[in-house]
Amino acid sequence: MDNNESLLELMKIRIVTSFRWREDIVLPLADELGIKKEEMEQILIKNLDMSSLEALHPRFESARPRCLKERIHADLRLCYLSDVMEIVSGDDSEKITTKISKEVLDGTPYNQALEDGKKQLLEILLGDQI
């Protein structure tokens, strides 16, 4: 490895091991994959170039609400109730997932917010609109 490659590697390491990166990206992904944080750091360093690393944190943060809404959609079984059976409208599905994801992003524990979503969903299914 020449001097330029060593410097680039050091710069990548500094980005990936920074506090915000560790807390927001490395640890959650390592936990999800069941690997050590050091392994996740090496995966990122190996697979991302410098410009991707520099741009990833803001993109990661901007994707968070969308990913959360997709998780809520799946956990409330809206893929069946709305997408397949169509007994919950697309608009109602969107309202629920948006409201619950906002609660979670504002600090409500996920499981508690999901319970609120289940109650709203049941109201819709029983004919009491949200």
90-105 vs 50-75: helix axis angle to the nearest 10? 120
Verify that 114 and 86 share a domain, yes or no. Answer: yes
Q: Read off the pLDDT of residues 8-61 as tens digits, 9 standing for 90 and up.
A: 888 888 888 888 888 888 999 999 899 999 999 999 999 988 888 888 878 877
Query: 127 lies in which domain range?
Result: 63-130
Instruction: Classify residue 17: in a domain, yes or no.
Output: yes
In a domain, 125, yes or no: yes
95: domain CATH number? 1.10.3070.10
Give the chain's mean pLDDT: 90
Structure token pair of residue 37: 């944080």
Residue 40 gets which letter from DSSP? H
DSSP state of 104: H
Domain-embedded: residue 56: no
Chain centroid, CA 93 distance in Å: 19
pTM to 2 decimal places = 0.70
Please give the distance of CA 38 from its chain centroid, rounded to a whole number.
21
Residues 31, 68 within the same domain:
no
d(CA 117, CA 115): 5
Q: Which residue has the higher pLDDT, 59 or 116?
A: 116
